[in-house]
Amino acid sequence: MKVILNTAPVLEPITLAELKLHLRLDSGSFADNVDETQSIVPGDHVEIASYALVGTGVEVLGYRALVTLNSGPNGAGGTVDCKIQESDDDSTYTDWSGGAFTQVTTDNDNEIQEIAYTGTKRYIRTVATVAVATCDFGTTIIRLTATSVEDDLLKDIIKTAWEHVEDITRRALLTQTWDYYLDEWPDSNVIKLPFGNLQAGNLTVKYTDSDGDQTTMTITTDYLVETNGDQCGQIVLPYATSWPSFTAYPSNPIAIQFACGWTTAALVPYKIKAAILLIAADLYANREGQVLSTLNYHENKAVMRLLASARLWDEF
């Protein structure tokens, strides 16, 4: 049995901003610490229905973001309905709950409305409907982008701390894809998969015979999937079936590809995030001290206590 990382996670359990807040770091002027992107460009916008006025998407993952609706005068009887949408890929957007601005009418135009984005998606944008008459307005997405000369170091520390927690817990924290190889079918009717949080919809089982012909097995018919929550998932034979009989190819004849991990950073338990922050703070504050003799090194007991109940104990 061997397991190889196929696709690394694109999300991180801890953002740079969260680590800076934990370390109480700040830098630069106010202007250095924010940037602004116009989603809907300010101007006179003519009547348009069903949120068909679509603003530019902005990446907000890892940032704190504030969305503003800056309205000028509405035409006589005109109204503006505006809301925030979110997306994983800057292509398919859905409405973000809590992202609807108060309707702008002639009674409350020439005002600024603000909504802080607290969702978990990578991109956000604004969309709007203009009714009855032309209305003057625009939307802006403001990100807190505090930077320092140590940002690259801090990003590396986050990755190191995160990977160390994965080693301790034997988990894959956020969505990643692995290739799992077996030389033969097990004697039992179960194949246990590592890392926890198995994602059932992203799993394939294939086997290759001695002639190099590969067969893809069919879920439900040939095997069942037990995700088992945040524990280790399993591939299970259906009732009255057996593993396929074949003469195995000499190299990696049975290949299982699966995705695992929590799907968003918000789902990662805070005790795990707290452990990552503690390790990161230690690496930042004691960057030279960490290279001392292992005789002088003691594992952070707070980290180990936080992660004790998160560790997977399954054997493979």
Cβ proximity of 230 and 143 under 8 Å: no
Question: pLDDT tens digits, residue range 72-88?
Answer: 999 999 999 999 999 99
- The whole-chain average pLDDT of the chain stands at 91
Share of the chain above pLDDT 90, in %: 79
pLDDT at 26: 65
* pLDDT above 90 for 291: no
The mean pLDDT value for 55-69 works out to: 92
Rg (C-alpha) for the chain, rounded Å, is 26
Per-residue model confidence (pLDDT) at position 313: 93
pLDDT of residue 149: 65
With the CA atoms of 196, 198, 261 and 93 taken in that order, what torsion angle do they form, in degrees rounded to the nearest 10?
-160
pTM of the model: 0.68
What is the reported pLDDT for 64? Answer: 86
User: Has residue 280 got a pLDDT over 60?
Assistant: yes
Between 91 and 201, where is the model more confident? 91
Q: Is the separation of the CB atoms in 55 and 84 below 8 Å?
A: no
**Which pLDDT score is estimated for 297?**
42
With CA atoms as reference, report the closest residue to 262 among 223, 287, 227, 286. Answer: 227
Query: Does residue 293 register a pLDDT over 60?
Result: no
Type and span of the H or E element at 153: helix 151-169
Q: What is the CATH number of domain 29-144?
A: 2.60.120
Average pLDDT over residues 7-27: 85
For the stretch 191-212, pLDDT in tens is: 999 999 999 888 999 999 999 9
Query: Dihedral sign, CA of 53, 54, 56, 61?
Result: positive
What does the domain layout of the chain look like in residue ranges? Answer: 29-144, 176-260
Q: Quick: pLDDT tens for 147-165.
A: 666 788 899 999 999 999 9
Contact 198, 309 (CB under 8 A): no
- Contact indicator for 165, 97 with CB cutoff of 8 Å: no
Instruction: Dump pLDDT digits (tens) for 208-258.
Output: 999 999 999 999 999 999 999 999 999 999 999 999 999 999 999 999 999
